[in-house]
């Protein structure tokens, strides 16, 4: 039996587009003489469809699309992911289903039992968990068909009381097929590889795994669909961050189904930094193409964050589709202007320079009756950042650019940024990348030649909103700050444990308080491309009004 894996980039709710993509792959696979082609979880409607699932109209369109695809399934079968109505009056109205289509019809279904409802996942919001398990038979092969999370309940502290494969294995399946929607984060690939291999070995079955690829706003699907043999070896792996379509032949040998492909050599995993780089490039590219945008604009300060953002945007959209705007004030240093210009030249990106002095001074003039005699403080700093945003948004509105946000995760965490100022943008490129990781990205971007001027990397970080300002005036050194933030945000470790790791008590308490009291600011920021296991946004839901560690 020849099984093909179709790893595609879907657009949520775009039934016409998704169905044509799927049908095109079905045809291609038939030409390759595949017996079965497997698509990802909820491939039909894209993942995550969120509250679109609450619309009857949306579910009806899923049903029509299933019929269209089934009609195409002659001489080949397909497994595809789509919601299914729950016929029982009790419980939620939908299942998250894998549909087996063949001979122009629906031949079988498997419903997801384990519904992830943590971090960015909300599946129990929509779906009833499956409670009855049956293998599906196709061409004499018994398939244990599961959906994503169904095979993840294997650790020492299982999140769910039941494990679907423990039920299915009793019916002696020949192969496991798992359709998934497993987004990238920099730890995910090693964890996922372990989960897949553990399942194959534990149940002594080959495993076909098909994932999404492409970005859905903040969620970045890395693909890496694959086939494992019953010993847990990978015999085939599809591309990372790209669409791909490949197949493997299986044959019975001594009543055991075996992939006719030797185990792959174990590839060295690419560095985390290169994975994050590629994920962000895909994230920018898909955000623009799926929203129907072409051109990006950003404010280029000469600092490291906007420099890295610009390099990533130029890579994702092409240098011709990016405009860098230098927006100096009286506090901007000449070296910052020079560095910014040099970067634009190195990247072959068009740049403009517009002074904010006029706008800044006019606004302060209007406020003179109120501010007269009061000292310069964060108010005036914020006015600068906000006038920059007004100018960038005006250019964006007039010429059809989308503003890229350049804030990093360290700043977003402690609220070191101006709301409606430098926190503006259609999408946040670095909002899940700590400052220390931004430097890693800069070095990676410069791996072959100096693209980002060395000076942008080596100079002390500064917002340049008052004379001689440095980030270190207000914040602990990033090397310390980022470690504390990582423990608190990614690892969800409390203050006493972080202090016990050897960090200064006052610093820890100050940092955690800054994180918690700035929740209101993060509430109003753009979606953040997610590259860590715990990004700000829908994966981290904190009270705004509250008093905890604050």
Judged by CB under 8 A, the chain residues 354 through 413 that form the site for a second copy are: 354-356, 358-359, 361-367, 370-371, 374, 377-379, 382-383, 386-387, 389-391, 393-395, 397-399
Contact stretch for a second copy (CB under 8 A) within 13-21, 200-208, 337-345, 451-459: 13-21
C-alpha angle 60-66-69 in degrees, rounded to nearest 5: 145
Is the CB of 119 or the CB of 137 nearer to a second copy?
Answer: 119
Read out DSSP for 173-234? -SEEEEE---B--TTHHHHHHHHHHHHHHHHT--EEEE--EEEETTEEEEB--EEE-TTS-E
Question: Which of 254, 255, 506, 541 touches a second copy (CB under 8 A)?
Answer: 541
548 touching a second copy, by CB under 8 A: yes
- Can you tell me which of 263, 318, 494, 533 binds a second copy, judged by CB under 8 A? 494
Decide if residue 56 touches a second copy (CB under 8 A): yes
Reply yes or no on whether 112 is catalytic.
yes
**Is 241 among the residues that bind a second copy (CB under 8 A)?**
no
Size of the site for a second copy (CB under 8 A): 100
> Quick one: tokens of 505?
């008590």
Asked if 148 is an active-site residue, the reply is yes
CA pair distance 504, 476, nearest whole angstrom: 11
Residue from 2, 107, 125, 509 binding a second copy (CB under 8 A) = 125
Show contacts with a second copy in window 302-361 (CB under 8 A).
352, 354-356, 358-359, 361
Q: Is 324 helix (H, G, I), strand (E, B) or coil?
A: strand
- Whether the Cβ atoms of residue 128 and residue 95 lie closer than 8 Å to each other: yes
Pick the catalytic residue: 29, 62, 148, 424? 148
Which candidate, 328, 538, 339, 365, places its Cα nearest to that of 451?
A: 339
How far apart CA 518 and CA 6 sit, in angstroms, is 43
C-alpha span between 22 and 80 (Å, rounded): 9
525 touches a second copy (CB under 8 A): yes
Q: Between 183 and 259, whose beta carbon lies closer to a second copy?
A: 183
Q: Does 262 bind a second copy (CB under 8 A)?
A: no
- Strands (DSSP E) along 300-457, which ranges? 322-326, 350-353, 401-405, 427-428
Q: Which residue has the tokens 């008590």?
A: 505
Stretch that binds a second copy, among 165-173, 282-290, 302-310, 456-464 (CB under 8 A): 282-290
Catalytic residue among 29, 41, 73, 435: 41
| Crossing angle for the helix pair 505-517 and 478-485, to the nearest 10 degrees | 70
Any idea of the CA torsion for 138, 244, 49, 176, to the nearest 10 degrees?
30
Task: For helices 56-72 and 15-31, give the axis angle rounded to 10 degrees.
Answer: 20
Nearer to a second copy, 286 or 411 (CB): 286
| 505 scored as a contact of a second copy (CB under 8 A) | no
Rounded distance between C-alpha atoms, residue 21 and residue 17, angstroms: 6
Angle value at C-alpha 363, between 358 and 366, nearest 5 degrees: 125
Q: Does 496 bind a second copy (CB under 8 A)?
A: yes
Window 25-54: residues binding a second copy (CB under 8 A): 46, 48-52, 54
Q: Does 195 bind a second copy (CB under 8 A)?
A: no
Residue placing its CB nearer to a second copy in the complex, 260 or 378: 378
Q: Which of 32, 142, 160, 480 binds a second copy (CB under 8 A)?
A: 160
> Which of 200, 192, 185, 244 is CA-nearest to residue 40?
244
Least distance in angstroms from the C-beta of 166 to a second copy: 12
- Using the rule CB under 8 A, is 547 a contact of a second copy? yes
Q: Scanning residues 202 to 231, which ones bind a second copy (CB under 8 A)?
A: 215-217
Task: Answer whether 421's CB lies under 8 Å from 386's CB.
Answer: yes
Q: Please report whether residue 198 would count as binding a second copy according to CB under 8 A.
A: no
Nearer to a second copy, 139 or 524 (CB): 524
Contact with a second copy (CB under 8 A): which of 527, 530, 532, 536? 527
Residue closer to a second copy, measured from CB, 126 or 478: 126
Nearer to a second copy, 62 or 97 (CB): 62
104: left (phi over 0), alpha (psi -120 to 50) or beta: left
| Least distance (Å) between residue 7 CB and a second copy | 19
Q: How far is the CB of 75 from a second copy (least distance, A)?
A: 31
Q: Does 503 bind a second copy (CB under 8 A)?
A: no
Q: Which of 21, 45, 73, 112 is catalytic?
A: 112
Which residue among 31, 132, 161, 467 contacts a second copy (CB under 8 A)?
Answer: 161
User: Quick one: 15 exposed, middle or buried, by C-beta within 10 A (0-12, 13-18, 19+)?
Assistant: middle
In angstroms, rounded to a whole number, what is the distance separating the alpha carbons of residues 141 and 523? Answer: 50
User: Least distance in Å: CB of 383 to a second copy?
Assistant: 5
Query: Would you name the residues annotated as active-site residues?
Result: 41, 112, 148
């Amino acid at each position: 039996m020849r099984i093909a894996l179709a790893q595609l980039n879907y657009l949520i709710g775009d039934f016409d587009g998704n169905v044509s993509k799927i049908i095109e792959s079905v045809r291609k696979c038939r030409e390759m003489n595949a017996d079965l082609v497997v698509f990802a979880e909820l491939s039909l409607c894209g993942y995550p469809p969120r509250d679109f699932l609450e619309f009857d109209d949306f579910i009806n369109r899923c049903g029509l699309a299933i019929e269209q695809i089934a009609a195409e399934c002659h001489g080949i079968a397909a497994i595809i992911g789509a919601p299914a109505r729950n016929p029982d009056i009790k419980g939620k109205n939908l299942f998250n289903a894998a549909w087996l289509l063949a001979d122009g019809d629906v031949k079988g279904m498997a419903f997801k039992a384990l519904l992830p409802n943590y971090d960015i996942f909300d599946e129990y919001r929509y779906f009833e968990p499956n409670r009855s398990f049956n293998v599906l038979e196709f061409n004499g092969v018994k398939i244990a068909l599961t959906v994503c999370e169904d095979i993840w309940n294997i650790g020492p502290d299982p999140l769910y009381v039941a494990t679907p494969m423990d039920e299915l294995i009793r019916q002696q399946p020949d192969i496991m097929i798992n359709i998934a929607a497993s987004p990238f984060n920099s730890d995910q690939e090693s964890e996922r590889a372990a989960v897949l291999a553990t399942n194959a070995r534990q149940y002594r079955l080959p495993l076909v795994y098909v994932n999404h690829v492409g970005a859905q706003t903040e969620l970045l699907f890395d693909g890496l669909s694959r086939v494992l043999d019953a010993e847990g070896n990978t015999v085939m792996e599809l591309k990372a961050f790209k669409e791909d379509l490949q197949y493997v032949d299986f044959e019975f040998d001594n009543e055991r189904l075996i992939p006719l492909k030797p185990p792959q050599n174990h590839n060295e995993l690419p560095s985390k930094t290169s994975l994050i780089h590629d994920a962000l490039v895909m994230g920018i590219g898909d955000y623009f193409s799926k929203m129907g945008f072409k051109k990006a604009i950003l404010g280029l300060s000469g600092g490291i964050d906007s420099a890295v953002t610009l390099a990533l945007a130029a890579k994702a959209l092409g240098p011709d589709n990016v405009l860098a705007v230098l927006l100096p004030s009286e506090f901007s240093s000449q070296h910052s202007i020079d560095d910014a210009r040099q970067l634009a030249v190195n990247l072959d990106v068009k740049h403009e320079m517009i002074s904010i002095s006029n706008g800044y001074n006019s606004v302060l003039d209007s406020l003179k009756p109120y501010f007269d005699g009061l000292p310069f403080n964060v108010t005036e700093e914020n006015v600068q950042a906000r006038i920059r945003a007004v100018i960038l948004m005006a250019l964006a509105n007039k010429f059809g650019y989308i503003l890229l946000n350049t804030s990093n995760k360290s700043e977003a965490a402690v609220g070191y940024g101006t709301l409606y100022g430098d926190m503006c943008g259609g999408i946040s490129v670095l909002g899940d990348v700590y400052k220390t990781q931004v430097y890693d990205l800069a070095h990676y971007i410069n791996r072959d030649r100096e693209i980002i001027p060395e000076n942008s990397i080596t100079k002390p970080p500064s917002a340049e909103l008052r004379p001689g300002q440095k980030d270190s005036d207000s914040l602990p050194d990033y090397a310390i700050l980022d470690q504390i933030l990582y423990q608190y945000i990614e690892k969800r470790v409390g203050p006493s444990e972080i202090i016990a790791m050897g960090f200064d008590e006052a610093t820890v308490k100050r940092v955690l308080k800054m994180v918690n009291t700035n929740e209101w600011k993060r509430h109003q920021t753009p979606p953040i491309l997610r590259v860590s296991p715990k990004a700000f946004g829908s994966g981290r839901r904190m009270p705004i009004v509250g008093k905890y560690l604050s």
